[in-house]
Chain A
Amino acid sequence: MDIVYYLVQNMLPVAIPLLLVALGGMYSERSGVINIGLEGIMLFGAYFGALFVYNVQGSSMGPQTILLLGMVIAGLAGFIYSLLLSFAAVSMKANQVISGTALNMLIPAAVLLFSKMFFNSDGITTNKNFYIREMPILGDIPIIGQLFFQRTYLTVIIGFVFLAIATVVLYKTRFGLRLRACGEHPHAADSVGINVYKMRYAGVSISGVLAGIGGFFYSVGVMDGNVNGHTGVAGFGFLALAVMIFGQWKPIRIMFAAMFFAFLRTLAYSVSLIPFLFNLGINQTYYKMLPYLATMLVLALTSKKSRAPKAEGIPYDKSQR
Chain B
Amino acid sequence: MKDKKGASSKTKFDIKKITQLQGYSSFTSALMAIVLGLIFGFLVMLFANPGSALAGFRFVVLGGLSRIGDVFYFATPILMTGLAVGFAFKMGLFNIGASGQYTMGLFFALFVAFTWELPPGIHWMAAILAGMLGGMIWGFIPGFFKAFLNVNEVITSIMFNYIGMYLVDMWVQTNAEMYVSSTTRTRYVPMNAQIPSLGIAGSNVNFGIVIGIIVAVILYIVLQKTTFGYELKATGFNKFASEYAGMKGKKNIILAMVISGGLAGLGGAFLILAPSGIAGSSMTYEPINIIAANGFNGIAVSLLGNSHPLGIIFSAVFISHIQRGGTLASLVGYKPEIIDVVIAVIIYFSAFAMIMKSSVTTFIKSKLGKEKDKEKNNLAKEAE
Contact = CB atoms under 8 A, between A and B. Distances in A.
A281 B73 CA distance: 43
B154 A106 contact: no
B338 interface: yes
A157 B163 CA distance: 32
Interface stretch (B128-136, B207-215, B268-276, B350-358): B350-358
A112 B351 contact: no
Nearest to B350: A98
Report the 5 A-B pairs with minimum CB-CB distance, sorted nearest first: A109-B340, A94-B352, A106-B344, A102-B348, A92-B352
Contacts of B94: 97-98
Given A101-B347, A299-B155, A92 B355 contact: yes
19 contacts: A98-B347, A99-B348, A102-B347, A109-B337, A109-B340, A109-B341, A109-B343, A110-B337, A112-B335, A113-B338, A117-B49, A238-B155, A242-B155, A285-B169, A288-B166, A289-B163, A296-B156, A299-B156, A303-B151
Interface string B158-172: 111011001101100
A138 B228 CA distance: 66
A230 interface: yes
Nearest to B49: A117
A93 B352 contact: yes
Interface of A: 36, 84, 88, 92-95, 97-99, 101-103, 105-106, 108-110, 112-114, 116-117, 229-231, 235, 238, 241-242, 245, 283, 285, 288-289, 292-293, 295-296, 299-300, 303-304, 306
A283 B174 CA distance: 10
B127 interface: no
Consensus secondary structure, chain A interface? helix
Interface of B: 44, 48-49, 94, 96, 145, 149-152, 154-156, 158-160, 162-163, 166-167, 169-170, 174, 289-290, 296, 299-300, 303, 335, 337-338, 340-341, 343-345, 347-348, 350-352, 355-356
Given A99-B348, A300-B145, A105 B340 contact: yes
Contact of A103 (B154, B338, B348, B356): B348
Nearest to B341: A109
Contacts of B149: 299-300, 303-304
Given A36-B154, A238-B159, A106 B169 contact: no
Given A235-B158, A241-B155, A245-B155, A293 B351 contact: no
A295 B155 CA distance: 9
Contacts of B351: 88, 92, 94-95, 98-99, 102
Contact of B347 (A105, A108, A230, A299): A105
A314 B326 CA distance: 36
B39 to A, nearest CB: 15
Given A93-B352, A238-B155, A295-B159, A117 B344 contact: no
Contact of A92 (B343, B345, B356): B356
A256 to B, nearest CB: 19
A288 B173 CA distance: 15
B335 A113 contact: yes
B101 to A, nearest CB: 16
